[in-house]
Structure 1
Amino acid sequence: MISQQDWQGETLYILENDYLSLSLCPSINNNLIRIWDKKLNREVLRVPDAPHDLMKNPAHFGTPVLMPPNRINGGAFTFDGRPYQFAVNRPNHMHNHGILQNLPWTVKSAGEENGIISITSTFRTADFPEVMAQYPHDTEMEITYELIGSKLNHKFKITNLSNLSAPFGYGLHTWFLLDHSPSEWNLTVPLSGVWELGSDLLPTGNILPLDKFESITHGAPLEGFDLDTVFLKGDHPCVAVLENKQCKITYSSESNLMKHWVLYTKGVADNFICLEPYTWVTNAPNIDLPADVTGVQSVKPGQTLELDILLQIEHK
């Protein structure tokens, strides 16, 4: 079933079956703000109380869409010999979390067919002068959410309609709840290294051994972890597993564009962990390493890039 609901003046689209109820807010970052687990009667994500909260802090609730993800030093970089200047939106002279921020997407289609409940929304950069001032490429982005049983597929694609190659980085910043019980939640993420960060929390270009984070690769309870950490996936599958005695949440992508994870607990782990799959690493265009390491992608004129991110909940 798919329906619409008024949320203090904003329209939510509700996708619902016997397992999950999803709430999508296209008008604010196309953020999937809520996943309600019907079997366990619990919120899966950190849900904003009101649209004002989401507008003010679009990356702090639900499933923020980041293009590009994380920080860019001074908002400035060079790509294909051309300078770019993104808005400096943080006090530490950084651009953070991309050009989409809290801008509206347009619902293109919604419906149910063969047991798949889906909704597709689009964003055209040329419709927003403030975006084109930072990212002077006419591109169309499209996100389709598909709900199939207790699986949710996030399908993203970007098409470059301009006559110049466009730099591309993408990520999600998904806020999973830990119910104030981090000791009961186990996290497993295959990783190959840790990006060394400077005092400004930007990668220095050095990739360090996992050391104290090695336990996460095999599965470790989250109690005591204080994470705001950038990891290189390497040759491992892009998959994170968060589980307790009641359920197993698998967050994964088969796309070879996904190269990095950011894990963030907002201080010592208590009620949240953000599982953040990224195509490019923080400040990627300013890191003097090959693009196949940093993840910087080029979308050529007329080209379309696609990727999927799957969230699956299994009940024990």
Structure 2
Amino acid sequence: MPITQQTWQGVPVHVLENDQFSVTLCPSLGSNMIRMWDKIAKREVLRVPDTLQAIQEQPGHFGIPMMMPPNRIRHGAFDFDGRHYQLAINTPQGHHIHGILRSRPWQVIRTGEADGRLSITTSFRTTDYPELDEQYPHDLTMEVTYTLSDSGLLQEVSATNHSGLSAPYGFGVHTWFMIDGEPERWTFQLPTEAIWELDPDAMPTGKLLPLGGFSSMAEGINLAGRTLDTVFQIGDNPVVSVLSKPGYSIRYSGSDAFKQWVIYTKGEAKDTICIEPYTWVTNAPNVPLDASVTGMSALAPGETRTLWIDMQITRD
């Protein structure tokens, strides 16, 4: 089936469709994959915004929003490589949250079809937005390619630093999976090593805690009665999570760089669970620990770095 350009709520979207799935990409809203419909199971895989206003007001709460940098930066400020950075303050508590990508337009640069798979690539360049020069004074090109197959959706993200200075770079996604108002039927698995202790502003204190009640998460925890807004450090475990119910399984995996995972249920688990793999932990530039622990990283001048996140769906 072809890739088609359509209109949703008055904005252009691209729809990729095969016999198993239909996915909807909105380039103008942070290149967010705002919908994934499972034709066989007849269910929404992702949390879909009801209106354009809903996603404009909460761009991190639907579909697969992309975050660079991910999550919070205390007061939007940090120092790196002898330079001071000040990101926009966009929380009531006076912090920065979720980065510079999630609500800005991306450009579609190519589409393709090969071996029964459909793909679409969009691009974002920081220098196209003069207001970013004071916040993030680097010339970066981001590209994301979504590839739809009969078994799921692959997301490949590359970042290229065109500037002459090393650019601090942390990336993550907020993927909003539906659990259909039936948390008791769903199990979540993620092999982890520790939990980041958080302060009242939901930022790491620098202390890693034992798993405690999450010690069985590698084998799977039932989501009934769970209230999660928890930051996990997975260490040397495989970068693989599984969200499943009887007869249905979503295997969500990624590049080795995704060592920090936030799991969020938006209150007690009911309709959704947000699975958030990050390359660096919340507020990483300000956490006084080694980069091997926090994931703090930078792109060297001229460097291109590519990450991938893969969603595979099986039905019994």
TM-score range, shorter chain: over 0.9
Structure 1 residues 261-272: aligned runs within 5 Å: 261-272=261-272
Aligned mates of 1:256, 1:8 — CA distance in 2: 37
Residues 159, 306 of structure 2: 8 Å contact kept: yes
Q: What's 1:91 paired with?
A: 92
SS of 1:292 mapped into structure 2: helix
SS of 1:52 mapped into structure 2: helix
Q: What's 1:180 paired with?
A: 181
SS of 1:100 mapped into structure 2: coil
Residues 69, 169 of structure 2: 8 Å contact kept: yes
Amino acid corresponding to residue 215 of structure 2 in structure 1: E
Amino acid corresponding to residue 87 of structure 1 in structure 2: A
* TM-score (norm. length: structure 1): 0.98
SS of 1:74 mapped into structure 2: helix
Structure 1 residues 1-316: aligned runs within 5 Å: 1-253=2-254, 255-316=255-316
Aligned mates of 2:242, 2:102 — CA distance in 1: 27
Deviation string, structure 1 residues 132-182 (Cα, Å, up to 9, x no partner): 221000010000001111221100000000010000000000100110000
Question: How far did residue 101 of structure 1 move?
Answer: 3.0
Deviation string, structure 1 residues 14-37 (Cα, Å, up to 9, x no partner): 011111100000000100000000
Runs of 4+ in 1 over 3 A off after TM superposition: none
Structure 2: gaps spanning 5 or more residues: none
Amino acid corresponding to residue 28 of structure 1 in structure 2: L
Residues 147, 154 of structure 2: 8 Å contact kept: yes
SS of 1:5 mapped into structure 2: strand
Question: How far did residue 292 of structure 1 move?
Answer: 1.3
Question: How far did residue 297 of structure 1 move?
Answer: 1.1
Aligned mates of 2:175, 2:169 — CA distance in 1: 20
Structure 1: gaps spanning 5 or more residues: none
Amino acid corresponding to residue 145 of structure 2 in structure 1: T
| Identity fraction in percent | 52
Aligned mates of 1:262, 1:116 — CA distance in 2: 30
Deviation string, structure 1 residues 220-255 (Cα, Å, up to 9, x no partner): 1100110000000100011110001131001001x2
Question: How far did residue 298 of structure 1 move?
Answer: 1.0
Amino acid corresponding to residue 223 of structure 1 in structure 2: A
Alpha-carbon RMSD? 0.8
Amino acid corresponding to residue 249 of structure 1 in structure 2: I
Aligned mates of 1:289, 1:218 — CA distance in 2: 29
Question: How far did residue 10 of structure 1 move?
Answer: 0.7
Residues 44, 178 of structure 2: 8 Å contact kept: yes
Aligned mates of 1:262, 1:206 — CA distance in 2: 16
